Structure 1
């Protein structure tokens, strides 16, 4: 959907900050100048700046104006921040942080899911897996089904804090999945690995489930390293998910 004026102004300023056009510690131009640059009213600029404050990108105050904060203070669980980073260019540091975060959170959640998943939870993961399989065999949107697979697995742990983290991790996970699908036969090769995770959860075998998802995560890291080494363009998350061609 096309974003409204506020959304467009927010995206413009967000990308400008993440890309380094307004470096950390510097002051952004005053509202009237930003309004002229974007072709919007001061009210729109003011609302966009408020959103940037909420996302941890800037701070405001009397006599100091609007100052860009260091990346360590940005809300990296905010989907907008992740999209802006993909537009500005995914860095090795960002991708490293993503993989390390996945390796900490997801195996623990899947281990718990193998103990707590309900029949409804398992049916949801099965449905996501079936969508991945259809995309591999007949073409289609593999990435969205892959994302649903991992989201539903984490939700199946029934830990409210981990579930909330799952919602925040969605954009981060999509980054990894988009990169993996750019590798030849990447989705086809990962399909049995996903099946092993699901079978371990169904069998109520926590240690097996944890080991299986670690294999998936480490495989994703290898995919990312290979794509980075090849210097191929990295995906942008403001575009529709990449669709597989029919086999």
Structure 2
């Protein structure tokens, strides 16, 4: 059991290392990773660990094993961006802010509908969680990290309140997008205080079960956030 656990831990480390290097562009799409023997020597692990790591990377869409060619790096359109690790690696490699822009577009598409569904379908318990997250935001305006955590909980609570199981897999993506956004737009406590009223409009519309108002409030909030992100990252 100990050996099995150690191997899984080593495998996770190798997956993390190779994944980050692929997304950072160390190996271009269409090129092959170093051979197993070379990877074993450079990373100090066994062939079994390397093979398990390659399988994991293949499941994430980053590589594909091909006969006589080896392990080939796949183009970005094959990568599973909903995979938490892939998303985290891509975020770290996002030097020009383009990924954050794409994530914000995704949020603008998904979250207004989620707010509307939450107002219609959310249980009383779900709505209580949304309200509690908002109240935690109010209490945390002077603490940038605590505010980020409360804001993330606010938005993911809305996704859970939709009652639609297909919203659950995107909660992590929304969380990463929100964290990236807030680190750009909410660097000071004063930024947090400014964002409280717009979140309150969303919260009240959902609590009062007004789906159209909830959709409109969330859209206005995200449109404003997109403008601030574009200004901060000098995106057109």
TM-score in terms of structure 2 length: 0.89
Cα distance between partner residues in 1 of 2:87 and 2:128: 30
Contact 2:36/2:50, CA 8 A, preserved across alignment: yes
- Deviation, 1:33, is 0.7
- Deviation, 1:4, is 3.1
Contact 2:198/2:221, CA 8 A, preserved across alignment: yes
- Deviation, 1:122, is 1.0
Find the residue that maps to 1:40 and give its secondary structure: coil
Q: Which residue of 1 aligns with 2:225?
A: 220
Q: Which residue of 1 aligns with 2:184?
A: 179
Indicate yes or no: 2:183 matched with 1:210. Answer: no
Cα distance between partner residues in 2 of 1:139 and 1:96: 22
Show structure 1 runs of 4+ deviating over 4 A.
Answer: 137-140
Aligned ranges 1:5-154 → 2 under 5 Å: 5-137=10-142, 141-154=146-159
Find the residue that maps to 2:72 and give its secondary structure: strand
Cα distance between partner residues in 1 of 2:199 and 2:220: 10
Cα distance between partner residues in 2 of 1:33 and 1:212: 55
Q: Greater shift after overlay, 80-89 or 47-56?
A: 80-89
Between Structure 1 and Structure 2, the one with more helix by share is: 2
- Deviation, 1:49, is 1.1
Q: What is the aligned-residue RMSD (CA, Å)?
A: 2.0
Cα distance between partner residues in 2 of 1:149 and 1:163: 14
Indicate yes or no: 2:165 matched with 1:163. Answer: no
Q: Which residue of 1 aligns with 2:5?
A: none
Cα distance between partner residues in 1 of 2:191 and 2:115: 22
TM-score in terms of structure 1 length: 0.85
Find the residue that maps to 2:140 and give its secondary structure: helix
- The total of aligned residue pairs comes to 228
1:123-170 Cα deviation digits (max 9, x unpaired): 101111122111114665111111110011111111121233324533
